[in-house]
Structure 1
Amino acid sequence: MMPKRLKVFLRRLRRFFLTTVIGGIAVVLPFTILIMLVRFIVNFFSSILAPIRPLFPFSQGVAEWIIDLLSFAIVITAFFMIGLVVRTSFGSRMFTRFEERWLMQLPFYSVLRETVRQFFGAKKTPFSQVVLADVFNNGMLMTGFVTDDELGNGYITIFVPTGPNPTNGFIFHVPEQRVRFVDTRPEDAMRTIIGVGTGSAILFKENEK
């Protein structure tokens, strides 16, 4: 019979091997899907632009390279335009609804989204975004910090510190349309809270997001 310690060791080794392999797949698979998707889109546009290949006074190899380059430029431009639309409040709401209804139903989409966001640094850390929130929908604005903007229901969770002691405060789940994202550093906003409102003009700059 196999010794008990050896059985335990082999069981742990097998568990370690499986979890490590699965972890590697979870990281590599989303990027593989992303690369395949981009390549598919580029090839799609290349096939559309193929009829204009004879217009280039170059060899066939150079003409194909130019077509691929144009296709890649079109894809990047399309991604850029989509990014511009999503940055607006209307575009963000529309994409959130589309994502909740359709994209989240796709296999591995959530894993792909989180992996890409972490890789490109797109995922915000708590308290990194300053907001002015109309919590009670009466025109009165509160200085707060976003703690979670991925609730998936049109709401954003914010923390509103109290002054002059910002370690205390209130947590609100506010509709996105009542939240104004402000281009102010968190430490500057925190100074206005500690100073019980002193210097709040920086929160009302014209270059709001």
Structure 2
Amino acid sequence: MKQRSFKQYFITGLLVWLPMGITVWVLTWLVGLLDSIFLAILHAADTLIPGMHALADYLRGVPGLGVILVALVIFSTGVFVANMFGQWLFRQWDKLMNRIPVVRSIYTSVKQVADTLFSGSGHAFSKALLVQYPRQGSWTIAFLTGTPGGVVARHFDQPLVSVYVPTTPNPTSGFFLMMPKADVIELDMTVDDALKYIISMGVVVPGGPEQLPLAAPATPQ
């Protein structure tokens, strides 16, 4: 009885601390990323601008300053580009980046992905799907990202869809697949619920606990 109670208490405590710990870890990673961007810009300014070494050393010692400044720059850029002059200036910058041979391929690829993922008109992760992967008979959750086009589409004689199969429990890595549309099952599930299902490794059932299968009644001995 005591052993069973100890196990229950331990699991209960784990369920309290695990989500909190993962949330803190993700936020810490995000803060570190923004700080690293700020430090890189500060190092470049320190190298190019004479007499800025003392100020740069002081700014490096201010905790959280990088996060605030990077977020402020991103927000200010959005406000600036929203007006007519900002849009014109952004178009000129876009043309310039598209004229540089090596930079052009990287810039346009990242821009297309960012436009698809973050713009209001994007269709990435628009639907949750059920697909057979990595072999027939094994099923997993995937997300619809579009349809193959261009040169790739010419090699197929049937309708295909582009899907992203995320890994568990980290959905930021995964696999891009082109699958026959007939082999894909569209789920009546939101993208958020599908992500929770993947991150929890199937523990968090979409729709809540009421969607869990009923346990079979115990057979009398």
TM-score interval, normalised by the smaller of the two chains: 0.3 to 0.5
TM-score by length of 1: 0.36
Structure having the higher helix fraction is 1
Bigger relative contact order, structure 1 or 2 (CA pairs below 8 A, ≥6 apart)? 1
TM-score by length of 2: 0.34
